[in-house]
């Protein structure tokens, strides 16, 4: 049978319509509500010089749960899955690297989320550009975090003891909407065995300007949402402050950097090719 031209056009239109519908369903109803709990090993696990000797103490492993870009409007099913995963992971350190809310209406859901987080040895958070623009005063955000056992680090450092090792954690103000200040963040700080830097925007890695006695061993960031719309894993657009970074590990041209794809969405409630991510990093401290 000979196909008429109009039959070919109709078939092509049906394929295009079906494809567009599939993409719309995926980006609106499926991918934004999935959760990828990614596991990573950083640093070299210590091995005994003598294979017959006992293994080094596990206390030198720092398990970090890295949450970013919650953009909370409510603690819905995805937020509940994040919380359940955090309880299962049993981290030593829980960090939230900014953009926990998008507007003042997210203040209540943020309190609910913080209250439901697991009671782990160390809980830290930093600001992102959306918190600063939300209209919620930073001082109030600090009180909210403190009330639920978190320290909100704004150009400030804390020292953690991990077995027989010490870890300095520095949290910076957002590089786009705030005023990051490495001098203030590390004023009076004694050097530690290791240094973890929390900076919401990954481009901050290129502009750290840390004192020589406090080099960064690891930087954790978010902000990019992995492109949020990344068909085939290729980000079509990333927000200002991303620089050349999209998602995952970067170990060239500076301290090792891990960029989380984050949990929520901003501007449009869609995700395509960029599944929400909760990262678990086992840092083996030398």
Task: For 99-112, write each residue's pLDDT tens digit.
Answer: 999 999 999 999 99
Task: For 53-77, write each residue's pLDDT tens digit.
Answer: 555 555 699 999 999 999 999 999 9
- Residue 8: the pLDDT is 45
- Is residue 52 predicted with pLDDT exceeding 80? no
- Is residue 3 predicted with pLDDT exceeding 80? no
29 shares a domain with 59? no
Question: In CATH, what number is assigned to the domain containing residue 63?
Answer: 3.60.21.10
57 shares a domain with 84? yes
- Is residue 22 predicted with pLDDT exceeding 70? no
- Is residue 141 predicted with pLDDT exceeding 60? yes
- Residue 125: the pLDDT is 98
50 shares a domain with 22? no
Question: Which pTM does this prediction carry?
Answer: 0.89
56 shares a domain with 21? no
In this prediction, residues 268-278 reach a mean pLDDT of: 96
Task: For 216-261, write each residue's pLDDT tens digit.
Answer: 999 999 999 999 999 998 999 999 999 999 999 999 989 999 999 9
In this prediction, residues 79-89 reach a mean pLDDT of: 98
- Residue 16: the pLDDT is 47
126 shares a domain with 115? yes
Task: For 154-169, write each residue's pLDDT tens digit.
Answer: 999 999 999 999 999 9
CA distance 170 to 185: 7
69 shares a domain with 21? no
CA distance 118 to 74: 18
Task: For 172-224, write each residue's pLDDT tens digit.
Answer: 999 999 999 999 999 999 999 999 999 999 999 999 999 999 999 999 999 99
28 shares a domain with 142? no
Domain span at residue 104? 35-284
Task: Work out how many domains the chain is built from and give that number.
Answer: 2
278 shares a domain with 171? yes
More confident residue, 45 or 142: 142
Full 3-state SS string of the chain: CCCCHHHHHHHHHHHHHHHHHHHHHHHHHHHHHCCEEEEEEECCCCCCCCCCCCCCCHHHEEEEEEECCCCECCCCHHHHHHHHHHHHHCCCEEEEECCCECCHHHHHHHHHHHHHCCCCCEEEEECCHHHHHCCCCHHHHHHHHHHCCCEECCCEEEEEEECCEEEEEEECCCCCCCCCCHHHHCCCCCCCCEEEEECCCHHHHHHCCCCCCCCCCEEEECCCHHHCECHHHCCCCCCCCCCCCCCEEECCCCCCEEECCCCCCCCCCCCECCCCEEEEEEEECC
- Residue 19: the pLDDT is 47
In this prediction, residues 124-137 reach a mean pLDDT of: 97
- Is residue 23 predicted with pLDDT exceeding 80? no
């Amino acid at each position: 049978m000979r196909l008429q031209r109009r039959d070919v056009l109709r078939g092509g239109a049906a394929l295009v319509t079906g494809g567009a519908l599939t993409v719309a369903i995926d980006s609106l109803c499926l991918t934004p509500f999935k959760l990828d709990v990614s596991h990573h090993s950083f640093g070299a696990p210590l091995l005994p010089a003598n294979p017959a000797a006992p293994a080094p103490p596990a206390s030198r492993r720092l398990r970090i749960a890295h949450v970013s870009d919650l953009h909370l409007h409510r603690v819905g099913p995805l937020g509940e899955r994040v919380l359940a995963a955090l309880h299962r992971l049993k981290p030593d350190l829980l960090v939230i690297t900014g953009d926990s809310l998008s507007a003042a209406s997210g203040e209540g859901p943020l309190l609910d989320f913080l209250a439901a987080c697991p009671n782990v040895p160390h809980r830290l958070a930093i600001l992102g550009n959306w918190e600063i623009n939300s209209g919620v005063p930073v001082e109030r955000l600090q009180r909210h975090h403190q009330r639920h056992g978190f320290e909100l680090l704004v150009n400030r450092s804390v020292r953690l003891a991990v077995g027989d090792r010490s870890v300095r954690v520095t949290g910076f103000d957002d590089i786009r909407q705030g005023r990051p200040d490495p001098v203030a963040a590390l004023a009076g700080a004694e050097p530690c065995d290791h240094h973890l830097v929390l900076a919401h925007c990954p481009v901050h890695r290129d502009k750290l300007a840390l004192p020589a006695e406090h080099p960064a061993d690891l930087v954790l960031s978010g902000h990019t949402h992995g492109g949020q719309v990344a068909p085939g894993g290729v980000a079509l657009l990333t927000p200002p402050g991303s620089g050349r970074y999209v998602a995952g590990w970067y170990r060239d041209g500076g301290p090792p950097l891990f960029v989380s794809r984050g949990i929520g969405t901003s501007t449009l409630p869609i995700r395509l090719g960029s599944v929400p991510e909760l990262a678990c990093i086992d840092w083996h401290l030398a």
